[in-house]
Each structure stands twice: as structure tokens, then as C-alpha cells.
Structure 1
Amino acid sequence: MKILEKSGFAGLLLLAAFSNAHADGTIKTALDGTFAPHAMPTLDGKVEGFNVDLVNLIGERLGKEVDLTSAQFSGLIPALQAKTYDFLAAPVTVNEERAANLLFSEGFMDTNFAFVVPADVPDFTSLEDFKGKTIAVNKGSAYDSFLREREGEFGWKVESYGTNTDAVAAVLAGRADANLAGATVAAWAAKQNPQVKLSYEYPTGLVWGLAFRKDDVEGRNLIDKVIECLKIDGSMATLSEKWFGVTPAAGATIVTPTKGYGVPGFEGYSEDDHQPSCELN
């Protein structure tokens, strides 16, 4: 996958910085190519999606070629640790366990949950609004566990399906009142099916970041700066609108640079007073 070199002073400064951290002219990275809309196969055998576009923009800003591999998620972190990749383009939820073994860029997106409901029903504004409703969910997912742990409190009925596509189909067929999934997956479902719409979004307080090896502080810090640039120049908002059909709210992680490097509150975070900019050295 070739990336055209970005012209201009900002691109040259970023390129010089990245060259110190990674000597060759190629960014080697990988993601799970079956996690729509972040990455998904195309009819011509390639892969497309939000995170594909994101890593391509990173390559463009750095004037680097991008060698992007599609692989099963379970094998990505071991391959990163084995230095097969410079970092992972996959969306990886930053948590305490992972932060103990990996470095992370600042969050590029919140990992919230979201409900999908029929397009013609009134808006839902809280979990309480779903009391007594039948909610379809992907069996064994974090969303399945979330709903079942709260069945007694909210009185909803949980119906589990083999895939989230099947769970959305249950809403379309009237067998369920709502579907719960990750916010981006829910947004993609609503974008693809005009008979449903996005509904209440539940904040988890967690974010997705790009994962690096513990010893690659320089590479992590540089990519962190590029992500900040993509937030402030409007690129991240454009990607959100393209893939999710959602214009990010002011203050959302996807459009708001984070102070320092990494994710505050987790191991590997480095406090720093640099000012987010697209002209970095």
C-alpha cells in the first residue's frame, strides 16, 4: 500500500523526526481486517475502513510508505512484540493489563457502547428508557455481559445472537426493541440500514489507542503528535463522518488532543507541555 509523500515544511519536520526512530522508509503495521467499519475486506481483495484511512494519513503526514497487513487480532500483539510491526493500526482498548505490556498513543476515539433502535421510535436518553425492552446482542461479547449483569436492575430481556449482524436483523424484524454494540459498530449499522437509527450512547471512560512496544518511546511520541495534528486539522472529524455518519461533538476524544503522550491514568503515559501542532520537530 503506497502513500504519497506530503509536501511542505510540516511534513519534512515530521519525516526527519520519524527517520530517527525508524530508519527505513516504510511503516510496517497491521490490523484485524474483519472489524467493520474500522477495517473490512473489499471485493478486489484489499481492505478498507476507518483505521485503514487513519494509518494511511499517518504515512502521508510522515512521507512514508505504509505496509499494512490484515491478520487475526489474537496474533497482532505477539507479532508486534516480535518486531514484525512498528506499531498496530488496529483499535486496541487501553486498559490496565495492556498498558503494563505495551505503550499506547493518546486515545484516537472513545470506546463507548451504543444502542440501535427502529428509526420510527422516540429517542432514548438513558439506560432507564430501556427498562422492560428486549435487547439483541452479539453472544459472548462485552455488551452481552454488560446487559446480563444489569438485567435485574433494569428489567430488560437479553437475546443473544451469533453475530451482531444477526442482532441488528432481530431489531429490523421486530423481534427486539434495540441492539447494543460498540458505538462505531452501531453507527455503521445505522449508516447501512435506514430502517434503524443510533440511540443512547453509554460512556465507558475508555479509549482506543495505537499500540507500540515498550521500548519504542520515540516512535510512540511521534505518532502521538501526528494524531494530534489529525485532530486539530479536521482529518479525524472527516473520517468519522465518512465511516460512521457521525459529526463528533466538541470535546470528544476523536477531535480533542490529549496533554502529554499516551493515555493519562495508565502506565506508559508521559506528561509533557508540548503544544499540539502540525508543524513539529
Structure 2
Amino acid sequence: MKTPILAALAALTMGAAEAQDSYTVALDGTFAPHAMPSLSGGVEGFNVDLAAIIGERLGAEMEIVATQFSGILPGLAAGTYDFVVAPTTITEERAESVLFSEGYLNTDFQFVLAADAEEVDALEGFAGKTIAVNKGSVYDSWARELAPEIGWTVESYGTNSDAVQAVVSGRAFANVAGNTVSAWAAKQNPAIKLGYLHSTGLVWGMPFRKGDEALRARVEAVIECLKTDGTMVALSEKWFGVTPAEGSAAVTPRPGWGEPGFAGHAEDDHAPGCAG
């Protein structure tokens, strides 16, 4: 049975292809805690749960394909996937080639400190400290670019887990990584805690093929419902151990369809929510 929110989209999808009974969606199955191998087989994580709930709300089966991120957007373009549920940063360049949903999570940089470490409330507070990063990551290059300005020392490790361990062992004062990855690490390890959050202003959205505006609207309407009915909060607390801040992408529906300010955004006066 279709949910009320789908009924509210009838006018938008009039003349478009009927909603499908099943969708094939893709994510990176090695990006914890968004998607990672489960002990029972398959994958689990925030985005796995999110995709399953979207399928339930749409009344459709969701075939979730775990693959390497590098092949996901080309696979979308080739028609292998109906849409992408992997965390994908909305950028101007990407928005020119794919159709994004509105953002559903902020993607910021967050520091992890030893549980008993002094609090730091600004980047300048890390002056003279050693910062551990995952070698070759965006956090590695960002920290090194800022080193002359901040006055910190950057040490790179083969994995982010190794960088976190450097904090635990005292070889580094802090580790910096993505906010959800840092939250997951702190949730799993009582020896560390979340520290300063550096906002990038960027968000993660779900990519669709250009021309699939009707499908995007159906999925985005569900995402907006999940933002307003508490589901996104529950998923964030389950997987990240963090309650989304007021005004964050996880709890704030955006006007129209897509992310405002980027190519593909469509103005619309629909009222976000779950009632139709």
C-alpha cells in the first residue's frame, strides 16, 4: 500500500513512469558506520538502514549492492543502479552530471581526543599538538595545508583506525576525520571522545540520473518525512551515538526538490512531512 506522502506527489508524477516495485541501489560496503560487513553476512550501517526504510515507505523491494565507491556514479550513469544511497558529497561539479536529492547529513571534519584530554574549542587550540590522520585522505591534505597557520604537527597513518590508535597510545593529541566516522570511533571506544567540530558547509545527498526528477521527488519526499518524524534522529543515535543538532541536514527539510543552490534544484511549494 502506498503511504500518504506518495499520494501527495500524484500531481508531480502525473505522466511519468509508474513507481517501481523494486529498486537497485548502490553503496560502498566498506565505509563504516554507513555500510560495513556484518557478522551475519551482508552489510549493515546507517545508510543500509536508511535505504531499507525508504524501500518500506515506498512499498518497494530494495536490492542493495555493496561495491567500490569509484564505480558507483559510473554505474548510475550506465543504468546499473536506479539511484545511489552511498554518502555522496554534493558539489557543484557533481551536480552538473547527476541529479541530487536534498542533503540528509552534514559532512564535517571532527577531532577525536583521549577521553581525559583538555577540551579544545577552536582550531587555534591545537597549536603545538600532533594531529594523526589517514594518509592520503582529504583530512591529511587539509591538516597539512593548515600546519603553517595553526602550528600543529601532522602524522599520517595507513588507516584511520591506526590514526585513532595513535591518540589512544598518546603518540598524537588528536585525530581528525569525517564527523560520522569520528562519532562511530568514539562510540566504540571509551578511551576516546569527540572533540572540536569544524564545519565545512557541505552535505551528503542521494544521486539520481538526470531526467529522473519524478523518482527523486518520490524518494526525497520520504527523506523529508524521516527528518520530521524522528527516524533520522533515531538512526543517528543508533549508528553515531549523536543526536543531530537543530538546523542540521538530518532534521531540516529543504525547500523544493534537491539541494538549494546547486544545479538540478527545482522550486516547489510542497509542505515537507508525512501527511498527504
Report TM bin, short chain.
Answer: over 0.9
Q: Deviations over 1:128-181 (max 9, x none)?
A: 111111000001111011100010000000000010000001001110000000
Query: Equivalent residue of 1:254, what SS?
Result: coil
CA distance in 2, matches of 1:26, 1:266: 29
On the 8 A contact 1:15/1:63 being kept in 2, the answer is no
Partners of 1:22 and 1:141 lie apart in 2 by: 42
What secondary structure does 1:219 align onto?
helix
**TM-score under structure 2 length normalisation:** 0.95
Quick one: distance in 2 between partners of 1:74 and 1:18? 31
Q: Unaligned stretches of 5+ in structure 1? A: 1-6
Q: Which residue of 2 aligns with 1:4?
A: none
The SS at the match of 1:66 is strand
Partner-residue secondary structure (3-state), 1:258: coil
The answer to whether the Cα contact below 8 Å between 1:112 and 1:204 also exists between their aligned partners in 2 is: yes
Whether 2:1 is the aligned partner of 1:10: answer: no
Give the percent of matched residue pairs that are identical in Structure 1 and Structure 2.
59
Q: Output the CA distance in 1 between the equivalents of 2:73 and 2:2.
A: 34
CA separation in 2, counterparts of 1:210 and 1:53? Answer: 14
Structure 1 match to 2:58: 62
| Structure 1 residues 215-254: aligned runs within 5 Å | 215-254=211-250
Distance 2:41 2:13 in 1: 30
- C-alpha displacement of 1:28: 1.1
Instruction: Write out per-residue CA displacement over residues 45-73 of structure 1, whole angstroms, 9 at most, x where no aligned residue.
Output: 21000000111111111111111100010
8 Å contact from structure 2 (residues 133, 154) kept in 1: yes
| Residue matched to 2:260 | 264
- Measure, in 1, the Cα distance between the counterparts of 2:2 and 2:22: 19
Asked if the contact 1:11–1:62 (Cα under 8 Å) also holds between the matched residues in 2, the reply is no
1:116 pairs with 2:112: yes
How far the C-alpha of 1:216 sits from its partner, in A, is 0.5
Per-residue CA deviation, residues 93-145 of structure 1 (Å, 9 max, x unaligned), is 00011001000000000110000000111221111111111000001111011
Judge which range, 164-173 or 268-277, deviates more. 268-277
Kept after mapping to 1: 8 A contact 2:111/2:197: yes
CA distance in 1, matches of 2:187, 2:8: 35
2:68 counterpart letter in structure 1: Q
Matched, 1:143 2:139: yes
In structure 2, the CA distance between the partners of 1:86 and 1:15, relative to structure 1 (3 Å rule), is farther
Deviations 1:193-226 (A, max 9, x none): 0000001100001100000001101111221111
Q: Which stretches in structure 2 are left out of the alignment for 5+ residues? A: none
Residue in 2 that maps onto 1:274: 270
Do the aligned partners of residues 9 and 205 (structure 1) sit closer, same or farther apart at CA in structure 2, a change above 3 Å counting? Answer: closer
Residue equivalent to 2:151: 155
Alignment check: 8 A CA contact 2:5 2:222 kept:
no
1:189 aligns with 2:168: no
- 1:61 to 1:157, Cα distance in 2 relative to 1, 3 A: same
2:106–2:203 CA contact under 8 A, matched in 1: yes
Q: Give the Å deviation of 1:24.
A: 3.4
1:51–1:18 CA distance, 2 compared to 1 (3 A): farther
Give the secondary structure class of the aligned counterpart of 2:156.
Answer: strand
- Mean CA deviation greater in 17-26 or 197-206: 17-26
- The answer as to whether partners of 2:5 and 2:273 remain within 8 angstroms in 1 is no
Secondary structure of the structure 1 residue equivalent to 2:148:
helix
Kindly report which structure 2 residues correspond to 1:160-175, keeping only aligned pairs within 5 A, or say none: 160-175=156-171
Shift in CA distance, 199/100, structure 1 to aligned 2, threshold 3 Å: same
Give the superposed CA RMSD.
1.8
Matches of 2:18 and 2:41, distance apart in 1: 29
Contact 1:22 1:219 in 2 (8 A): no
Q: Who is 1:97 aligned against?
A: 93
Q: Structure 1 length as normaliser, TM-score?
A: 0.93
* 1:78 CA drift (Å): 0.9
